């Protein structure tokens, strides 16, 4: 019944998974990851999402202290890897959707050219996964996370306010149907290509809690490697909704386990996190936080960026190298 054990992955892919802290419970204690926040634009609006740029005080998805240019992301990677060689994975997870930002692919190009042995990882909502999949293969992105909260349009339309696809806005059931169709086709394409696919599903009591087991069974059939059932962070339009209890989430994880491997050690990381999962170095240095806070006040203002054409942040100029975290902040 455990489809993930039958996934037709290469031995090299299996080795990389064993060193990926999000895919292996054992790896989280030995190997680290580096998130590069180069992707501010997003093409969907989820009702639970509150993306914050220039923020050093919160630890959750969608938050970053700075948005880096690809060039600065490479310089930051050089600095982090030089001092923390236990980091084997470099990923892009926002603060928007990586596949809606050309900077993602330029960053992957630069990282792959200089560090051919690193595992490259991307986390996406999946709307553009099928469309941009060849670009991920071009830079040998090997591990993929897709956030998918429902396969039922009636449920999905309660979670996602709207989407932007091919520069056109879609709302309601139409948006939900398009998003689900694109997610499923993209996930299947990635599985068939031999990538290690992880699904992030936000558990929202009263909306999708009775649907997630059905999703796990479908993921079993598709060949998904691992599933991460994440608790709702009640914020934005869902600020008044009740998050699940630990017991509720644990019960659901155990129910899904016969169908797809479950990730139970997720920390719901920031878009600029680095280090071990349980020891995010981006949060440990007060010096780094002070430097970034000062730089961000001078250079940027928090702004939601929507991919509805050529919309750009008023503070989207590339960050200069001196605005990056100082080396002594990594110690």
- Tokens 């006040």 belong to 297
149 falls within a domain: yes
329 inside domain: no
User: Does some domain include residue 279?
Assistant: yes
27: CATH: 3.20.20.70
Contacts of 46 (CB under 8 A, 6+ apart): 125, 149, 159, 160, 161, 236
Q: What is residue 98's DSSP assignment? A: G
- Burial grade of 226 (CB within 10 A; 0-12, 13-18, 19 or more): buried
> pTM of this prediction?
0.80
User: Alpha-carbon distance 318 to 105, whole Å?
Assistant: 16
Q: List beta partners, residue 35.
A: 91
Residue 264 lies in a domain: yes
- Per the structure, how many domains does the chain have? 1
**Within 10 A of 221 (CB to CB), how many other CB atoms are there?**
11
- Residue 168's nearest CA partner among 307, 312, 311 is 307
Q: In 84-120, where does DSSP find H-type helix? A: 102-114
Q: How far is CA 253 from the centre of its chain?
A: 20
Whether 173 is covered by a domain: the verdict is: yes
Residue 330 domain flag: no
From first to last of its 331 residues, the chain has per-residue pLDDT tens of: 444 454 556 666 676 666 666 776 565 545 678 989 999 999 999 888 876 554 444 444 556 678 899 999 999 999 989 988 888 889 998 889 999 999 999 999 999 999 999 999 999 999 999 999 999 999 999 899 999 999 999 999 999 999 999 989 999 999 999 999 999 999 999 999 999 899 999 999 999 999 999 999 999 999 999 999 998 887 778 888 999 999 999 999 999 999 999 987 555 667 787 775 545 555 555 444 444 444 444 344 333 444 443 333 323 333 333 334 433 333 3
Query: Does any domain span residue 331?
Result: no
DSSP annotation of 14: H
Per-residue DSSP letter, 60: S
In a domain, 31, yes or no: yes
Domain holding 258, by residue range, is 3-324
Strands 119-124 and 279-280: unpaired
């Amino acid at each position: 019944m455990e489809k993930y054990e039958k996934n037709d992955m290469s031995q090299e892919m299996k080795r990389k998974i064993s060193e990926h802290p999000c895919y292996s419970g054992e790896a989280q204690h030995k190997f680290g990851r580096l998130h590069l926040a180069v992707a501010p634009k997003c093409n969907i609006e989820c009702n639970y999402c509150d993306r914050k740029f220039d923020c050093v005080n919160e630890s959750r998805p969608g938050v970053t202290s700075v948005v880096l240019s690809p060039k600065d992301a490479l310089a930051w990677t050089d600095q982090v890897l030089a001092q923390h060689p236990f980091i084997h994975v470099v990923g892009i997870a926002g603060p928007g959707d990586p596949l809606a930002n050309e900077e993602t692919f330029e960053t992957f190009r630069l990282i792959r050219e200089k560090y051919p042995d690193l595992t490259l990882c991307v986390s996406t909502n999946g709307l553009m996964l099928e469309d941009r999949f060849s670009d991920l293969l071009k830079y040998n992105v090997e591990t993929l996370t897709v956030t998918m909260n429902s396969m039922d349009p009636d449920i999905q339309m309660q979670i996602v306010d709207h989407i932007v696809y091919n520069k056109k806005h879609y709302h309601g059931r139409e948006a939900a149907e398009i998003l689900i169709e694109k997610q499923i086709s993209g996930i299947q394409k990635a599985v068939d290509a031999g990538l290690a696919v992880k699904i992030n599903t936000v558990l929202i009591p009263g909306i999708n809690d009775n649907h997630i087991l059905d999703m796990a069974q479908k993921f079993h059939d598709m060949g998904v490697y691992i599933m991460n059932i994440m608790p709702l962070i009640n914020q934005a339009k869902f600020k008044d909704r009740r998050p699940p209890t630990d017991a509720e989430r644990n019960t659901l994880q155990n129910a899904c386990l016969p169908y797809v491997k479950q990730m139970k050690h997720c920390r719901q990381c920031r878009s600029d996190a680095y280090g071990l999962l349980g020891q995010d170095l981006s949060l440990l240095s007060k010096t780094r936080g002070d430097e970034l806070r000062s730089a961000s006040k001078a250079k940027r203002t928090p702004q939601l960026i929507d991919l509805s054409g050529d919309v750009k942040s008023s503070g989207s100029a590339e960050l200069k190298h001196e605005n990056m975290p100082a080396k002594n902040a990594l110690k």
